[in-house]
Amino acid sequence: MRWMSRYVLEMPQFLKPDQFTLSFDDGTPTIALHGPTVSDTEGWSFLNRATLLVLDGPGEEGFLLPRVASPEGEPAPERWDEAVASIGSVQVLTSGARVTALVIE
């Protein structure tokens, strides 16, 4: 079944709470990735849900982040949802790169 190898889809990388930090940078919702890198800084989107955050990149790149964003079980920062909805994007910091991910519904 050689034809099937062309249609293998990559799953987004699941990040553990110690691999990212949710915070605000001058009022902008920001996700700092600790370790994971991105190959392209264009074409990212963000889905903000109650239990899971999805960073979807170009091609097969992407990350799934649990909403509880710390090993101590702390949820996303206070006013996170309001800021994401108001601004319509999040900033993603990784390996010196800054990526803007537009919010999708």
Q: What is the mean pLDDT of each run of 10 residues along the chain (105 residues)?
A: 51 88 94 92 93 91 84 79 96 91 93
Instruction: Put the strands of the sheet holding 89-94 in their side by side order.
Output: 13-14, 62-66, 52-56, 44-48, 97-103, 89-94, 28-33, 20-25
Provide the total of helices (H) and of strands (E) in the chain, helices listed first: 1, 8
Spell out the domain ranges in the chain: 11-103
Q: Say how far apart CA 64 and CA 46 lie, in whole Å.
A: 10
Half-sphere exposure of 98 (CA within 13 A, CB side): 7
pTM: 0.84
Give tens-digit pLDDT for 50-75. Answer: 889 999 999 889 999 998 755 666 67
| Phi, psi values for residue 84, rounded to 5° | -60, -45
